[in-house]
Structure 1
Amino acid sequence: MSGSTLSSYPAQYWHALDDGRIQCDLCPRDCKLHDQQRGACFVRQRQGEGIVLTTYGRSSGFCVDPIEKKPLNHFYPGSSVLSFGTAGCNLACKFCQNWDISKSRDMDRLMDQASPEQIADAAVRGGCRSVAFTYNDPVIFAEYAMDVADACHERGIKTVAVTAGYIHEQARRDFFAKMDAANVDLKAFTEDFYFKLTGSHLQPVLDTLVYLRHETKVWVELTTLLIPGHNDSDQELTALSQWVARELGPDVPLHFSGFHPDHKMPDVPATPKHTLVRARQIARDQGLRHVYTGNVHHAEGDASHCPQCDSQLIERDWYQIKRYRLTPEGTCPDCGTALAGHFAEQAGHFGARRIPVFLGGGKKSASLEGRPQGDGLG
């Protein structure tokens, strides 16, 4: 870990202010810090005349998941991904589904430790095609994620960011230069929602999406968690879908997932299946070709279709690949149209397992052969 301690790893993206404070330049929050003060994300702290990342090399846990759980449906379907997160977040979503991790102020939750090289080696040993930075937003532990990405690429392992995309321009360029794929949360399509329910703003997220789509080679998929009465109206779903089709293109996959009551919104009802099905139809009516439904059993909303002849190319049952009809070139066998994304000659067969992994550097120690657990949100 470059000789730095876990509690004092030098962070990038900051500058000194004339009033003696230091401003963090990682994300649009622009936290201005006195000595020993932490940013809104909790994990970036001023120490002396600089800012440090306090979670470098520490994780809230590792699991081997199906890639579809991120969710990524067009990035090596059926493959396994070594997933991990740390603690903290630079958003304040009242509906957070992983709030016990993202809102944690207890560093004892970071029970496992691993260097970038150990993580990459674990992915190789576990037969994982990729490593995902997930559970909490990897933007806030960018230096650690980027070092892990370098170690993974040296071993032929791909990297995946599951993120809200709330990041400043320079950090955005550096961070996503290390990523092969990203699922970005487009949480809603109104500034009012972002400001009141996430404590952030919509435009920086849209800027990230446009940047990723048009200035990088990162494979991008989007996820919108539909919350009844807050971001699920026909009008908003139409506007969101039109923007994606116009600014990102019709081949960018969009996942609508279901909310369940949690964190600071326990009284909001769970998203009914028909809302997700309706959202999918609205998005398809606006020209989006690959629209999926998540957190519900909906065979049509799990399947991938040819954008030209609409033949079913990938049949899924939750995270299980049931049928895979792509040619070795990644095209439709019926009409020859290419399916947008990254595909192997054959689908992976990891299935719906979830295998906890302990790398041996923290409070627990185990081999990669963990006991499969039940499925859940990434």
Structure 2
Amino acid sequence: MHEALLYQKMPNGVIRCHTCQWNCRINPNHLGVCQVYQNINGSLFSLNYGRTSSVAVDPIEKKPLYHFYPGSQVFSLGSWGCNFHCTGCQNWEIACPDTYERLFSSRTLLPEQAVSMAREHHCQGIAFTYNEPTVWFEYTLDCARLAKNNGLYTVYVTNGYMTADALDTIGPYMDAFRVDIKGFKADTYKKLSKIQHWEKILATTERAKSQWGMHVEVVTNIIPTYNDDPEQLTGIARWIKTRLGELTPWHVTRFYPCRDMLDVPPTPFETLEKAVEIGQGEGLKYVYMGNVPGHKSETTCCPKCGQVLIRRHGYDTEICGLDNDHCRHCRSKLYIRLSSPTEGE
């Protein structure tokens, strides 16, 4: 166990957690919504510090991040627990464990070990992914700080439901914020994730970019009858354009039935293509279709001259039209983060 960083002691041994936007009020010997923060004798402890459910070397495109160190390998770490309870969660075995048996029997990987392994496997960065990293906050903070000191980039693959205190604490050590925007109205978030105050996710994402200069990319997993209506898709696209900028990538991904949503069909290709049209119609320069390997939208083209900049097929990536973060052909600045200059490729 590891004492939590962001909490407030209240009368009668009660604790108020300030890590995520649930701001759980936790009675003695009880757990927060995430099931991995526990009030023990009037102090808050993280039960999953260093406890890994998943460890892998991934292409950065798998997160998905398309404009952040494209073609690089990232050391990916996941733990246990989540502050959402999504009905169609594809990682529900680790996000919503029924017992603590797997948590306490899982491998412990200290930050020093994680950074060492990332370097041994020739990764350029570390990503906190698979489950919600906010509920692994103290570990991700320690690991990110050490990673930055060792020249590695850092990535949060998140639902965005963290507090401003948590964001500002980890902000100096986090390079990329890959956020899920599951819909654009309260009813959708209540049905899919059982949360309220979904607008705070938007505020957190905007702060990650404006206050801390993080690279931001947005993912919307489009689920038939839940968030595939033009009103919500237009709302998401318009918010990205207005608050994050027209060059911010939006990944509209195909839903596949899982967990408690086995009766919902996979997203039709026509729905994804309509989402791409909506995003482009709202002024977004980069809208990518996800979970559809080989689709033409995987390729990154210059929005000004149309030349191919990054060619992709699945996770195979070829940088073919960039000089640093400029188009090699028309010199437009594109705000694509690269590991090294690509001049002369």
Taking a change above 3 Å as real, the CA distance of residues 215 and 323 of structure 1, as seen in their structure-2 partners, is closer
- DSSP 3-state at the match of 2:326: coil
2:206 is equivalent to residue 210 of structure 1: yes
- DSSP 3-state at the match of 1:257: strand
Q: Which residue of 1 aligns with 2:267?
A: 271
2:116 is equivalent to residue 106 of structure 1: no
Q: Is the 8 A contact 1:225 1:259 kept in 2?
A: yes
Deviation at 1:108, TM superposition (A): 3.6
Higher normalized contact order (CA 8 Å, seq sep 6+, divided by chain length): 1
Q: Distance in 1 between matches of 2:215 and 2:159?
A: 15
% identical aligned pairs: 36
Counterpart mapping for 1:288-303 below 5 A: 288-303=284-299
The one-letter amino acid paired with 2:85 is A
The one-letter amino acid paired with 1:238 is T
Deviation at 1:310, TM superposition (A): 2.1
Q: Which residue of 2 aligns with 1:146?
A: 141
Q: Is the 8 A contact 1:303 1:315 kept in 2?
A: yes
Q: Which residue of 2 aligns with 1:252?
A: 248
The one-letter amino acid paired with 1:200 is I
Q: Distance in 2 between matches of 1:108 and 1:216?
A: 38
Q: Is the 8 A contact 1:299 1:316 kept in 2?
A: no
The one-letter amino acid paired with 2:18 is D
Q: Which residue of 1 aligns with 2:66?
A: 73
The one-letter amino acid paired with 2:98 is R
Deviation at 1:147, TM superposition (A): 0.4
Deviation at 1:246, TM superposition (A): 0.9
Q: Is the 8 A contact 2:13 2:28 kept in 1?
A: no
Q: Distance in 1 between matches of 2:200 and 2:128?
A: 20
2:217 is equivalent to residue 224 of structure 1: no
Q: Which residue of 1 aligns with 2:44?
A: 51
Q: Which residue of 1 aligns with 2:317?
A: 321
Deviation at 1:176, TM superposition (A): 2.8
Q: Which residue of 2 aligns with 1:194?
A: 189
Q: Is the 8 A contact 1:65 1:80 kept in 2?
A: yes
Taking a change above 3 Å as real, the CA distance of residues 127 and 147 of structure 1, as seen in their structure-2 partners, is same
2:227 is equivalent to residue 234 of structure 1: no
Counterpart mapping for 1:15-26 below 5 A: 15-26=8-19
Deviation at 1:109, TM superposition (A): 2.8
Q: Distance in 1 between matches of 2:341 and 2:274?
A: 33
Residue from 34, 42, 51 that aligns with 2:35: 42
The one-letter amino acid paired with 2:71 is G
Stretches of 4+ moved more than 3 A in 1? Answer: 105-108
Q: Is the 8 A contact 2:183 2:227 kept in 1?
A: yes
The one-letter amino acid paired with 1:33 is I
- The TM-score normalised by the length of structure 1 is 0.87
Q: Distance in 1 between matches of 2:240 and 2:38?
A: 36
Counterpart mapping for 1:154-193 below 5 A: 154-193=149-188
Which is further off, 157-166 or 308-317?
308-317
Q: Distance in 1 between matches of 2:86 and 2:291?
A: 19
2:276 is equivalent to residue 283 of structure 1: no
- The TM-score normalised by the length of structure 2 is 0.95
Q: Which residue of 2 aligns with 1:334?
A: 329
Q: Is the 8 A contact 1:164 1:184 kept in 2?
A: yes
Q: Which residue of 1 aligns with 2:258?
A: 262
User: Structure 1: where are the runs of 5+ without partners?
Assistant: 1-7, 348-378
Q: Distance in 2 between matches of 1:140 and 1:97?
A: 18
Which is further off, 217-226 or 199-208?
199-208
User: Structure 2: where are the runs of 5+ without partners?
Assistant: none
Q: Is the 8 A contact 1:62 1:83 kept in 2?
A: yes
Q: Is the 8 A contact 2:53 2:80 kept in 1?
A: yes
- 1:59-83 C-alpha deviation (Å, 9 max, x unpaired): 0020000000000001111110110
Q: Which residue of 2 aligns with 1:132?
A: 127
Q: Distance in 2 between matches of 1:236 and 1:65?
A: 31
The one-letter amino acid paired with 1:297 is P
- DSSP 3-state at the match of 2:208: helix
The one-letter amino acid paired with 2:81 is G
Q: Distance in 2 between matches of 1:195 and 1:269?
A: 20
Q: Which residue of 1 aligns with 2:26?
A: 33
Deviation at 1:92, TM superposition (A): 1.1
Q: Is the 8 A contact 1:61 1:112 kept in 2?
A: no
Deviation at 1:130, TM superposition (A): 0.6
CA RMSD of aligned residues (A): 1.5
Deviation at 1:49, TM superposition (A): 1.7
Aligned length, in residue pairs: 339
Deviation at 1:323, TM superposition (A): 5.0
Q: Distance in 2 between matches of 1:137 and 1:275?
A: 27
- DSSP 3-state at the match of 1:223: strand
